[in-house]
Structure 1
Amino acid sequence: MGLLNELEAQGQAVWLDFVDRKFLAEGGLQKLVDEDGLTGVTSNPSIFEKAMGHGDAYDAALAEYDAANPDASTMARYEHLAIQDIQAAADTLRPVYDRLGAKDGYVSLEVSPYLANDTDATIAEAAKLWSEVDRPNLMIKIPGTPAGVPAIAATIDAGINVNVTLLFSIEAYKAVALAFVAGLEKRAERSEPIDRIASVASFFVSRIDTKIDDAIDAGTGGEDAKAVRGKVAIANAKLAYAWYQDFVASDRWQALAARGAMPQRLLWASTGTKNPDYPDTLYLDTLIGKDTVNTVPPKTMDAFRDHGTVAATLAADVEGARHVLAEAERLGLDLDGVTATLVEEGVHSFAKAFDDLLGAIAAKHPAEASA
Structure 2
Amino acid sequence: MKNPLARIPDFGQSIWLDYIKRSFTQSGELKKLIDQDGLRGVTSNPAIFEEAIAQSDDYNDTLASLQKDNLSPQDAFLRIAIEDVQTAADLFKGVYADTKALDGYVSLEVSPGLARDTEGSITEARSSWKTLDRKNVMIKIPGTAEGLPAIKQLISEGININVTLLFSLDRYRATTTAYIEGLEQRAANGGSLENIASVASFFLSRIDTMVDPMLDKIAQEQPEHATLARQLQGKVAIASACDAYAIYQEVFTSERFKALEAKGAKPQRLLWASTGVKNKAYPDLMYMEALIGPDTVNTVPKETLEAYRDHGNPASRLESGLEEGRYVLYQLENVLGIKLADITQKLEDEGIQKFTKPFDSLMKVIGEKSKKVTS
TM-score (norm 1): 0.97
Give the Å deviation of 1:334.
2.2
In structure 1, give the amino acid aligned to 2:191.
Answer: E
Within 5 A, what are the aligned runs for 1:29-68? Answer: 29-67=30-68
Query: Aligned residues: percent identity?
Result: 49
Whichever residue aligns with residue 296 of structure 1, its letter is V
- Indicate the residue corresponding to 2:289 in structure 1: 285
Which of 269-278 and 309-318 deviates more? 309-318
Alignment of 1:156-235 (within 5 A): 156-219=155-218, 222-223=225-226, 224-235=228-239
Query: 1:127 matched to which residue of 2?
Result: 126
Q: 2:364 is matched by which residue type in structure 1?
A: G
The answer to whether the 8 A contact 1:116-1:122 is kept is: yes
Say if 1:363 and 1:369, in contact at 8 Å, map to a contact too: no
Tell me, in whole angstroms, the C-alpha distance in 1 between the residues paired with 2:119 and 2:211. Answer: 34
Cα distance in 1 for partners of 2:62, 2:291 equals 40
SS of the residue corresponding to residue 298 of structure 2 reads strand
Q: Which moved more, 1:278-287 or 1:215-224?
A: 215-224
SS for the counterpart of 1:197 is coil
Residue 218 of structure 2 aligns to a residue whose secondary structure is: coil
- Indicate conservation of the 8 Å contact 1:17/1:298, yes or no: yes
* Counterparts in 2 of 1:368 and 1:297: CA distance versus 1, 3 Å: closer
- 1:189-218 Cα offsets, whole Å, 9 max, x none, are 122101110000000001101111111123
Q: Which residue in 2 is equivalent to 1:270?
A: 274
Number of residue pairs matched by the alignment: 368
How much has 1:57 moved relative to structure 2? 1.1
Question: For 1:148-187, what per-residue CA distance to the aligned partner results, in whole angstroms no more than 9, with x for missing partners?
Answer: 0000000101110000000001101001111001000011
Structure 2 counterpart of 1:178, one-letter code: T
1:4-153 equivalences under 5 Å are 4-67=5-68, 69=69, 71-153=70-152
**Distance between the aligned counterparts of 2:176 and 2:136, measured in 1?**
20
Query: In the aligned structure 1, how far is the partner of 2:24 from the partner of 2:85?
Result: 12
CA distance in 1, matches of 2:320, 2:237: 15
Offset, 1:65: 2.3
Unaligned runs of 5+ in 2: none
1:248, distance to aligned residue in structure 2 (A): 1.3
- Deviation of 1:367 (Å): 8.4
Deviations 1:225-274 (A, max 9, x none): 11111111001000100111111111001001111101000000000000
Name whichever of 225-234 and 327-336 sits farther off. 327-336
* Secondary structure of 2:317 counterpart: coil
Is residue 14–residue 293 contact of structure 1 (8 Å, CA) maintained in 2?
yes
Query: Is the Cα–Cα contact under 8 Å of residues 63 and 373 in structure 2 kept in the other structure?
Result: no
Q: In the aligned structure 2, how far is the partner of 1:277 from the partner of 1:356? A: 31
Task: Measure the CA separation in 2 of the matches of 1:87 and 1:204.
Answer: 26
- Name the counterpart of 1:348: 353
3-state SS of 1:249 partner: coil
Counterpart CA distance in 2 for 1:228 and 1:212 is 9
Give the deviation of 1:307 after TM superposition. 1.2
| Match 2:304 to one of 300, 304, 315 | 300
Answering whether residue 8 of structure 2 is matched by residue 3 of structure 1, we say no
- For 2:257, the equivalent position in structure 1 comes to 253
CA distance in 2, matches of 1:215, 1:369: 51
**CA distance, structure 2, for counterparts of residue 17 and residue 302 of structure 1:** 12
What is the distance in 2 between the residues matched to 1:333 and 1:369? 55
Alpha-carbon separation, structure 2, partners of 1:368 and 1:333: 52
1:322-349 Cα distance to aligned partner (Å, 9 max, x none):
1100111020222111111110000011
Secondary structure of the 2:97 match is helix
Q: Answer whether contact 1:362 1:368 (CA < 8 A) is retained.
A: no
2:110, 2:118 → 1: CA distance? 11
Residue 268 of structure 1 aligns to a residue in which SS?
A: strand
Q: Which amino acid aligns with 2:254?
A: S
* 1:365 partner SS: helix
Partner of 2:343: 338
SS of the equivalent of 1:266 reads strand
1:364 aligns with 2:369: yes
The AA in structure 2 aligned to 1:231 is K
| Deviation string, structure 1 residues 269-306 (Cα, Å, up to 9, x no partner) | 00000011111000100001111000010111111111
Q: Which moved more, 1:329-338 or 1:260-269?
A: 329-338
Q: 1:238 aligns with which of 242, 245, 251?
A: 242
Q: Distance in 1 between matches of 2:209 and 2:311?
A: 23
Alpha-carbon contact 2:4-2:309 (below 8 Å) kept:
yes
- SS across alignment from 2:181: helix
Q: Matched residues in 1 for 2:210 and 2:170: separation?
A: 19
Distance 1:237 1:198 in 2: 21
Structure 1 unaligned spans of 5+: none
The secondary structure found in structure 2 opposite 1:219 is helix
More deviation in 156-165 or 93-102?
Answer: 93-102
Q: Is the 8 A contact 2:17 2:42 kept in 1?
A: yes
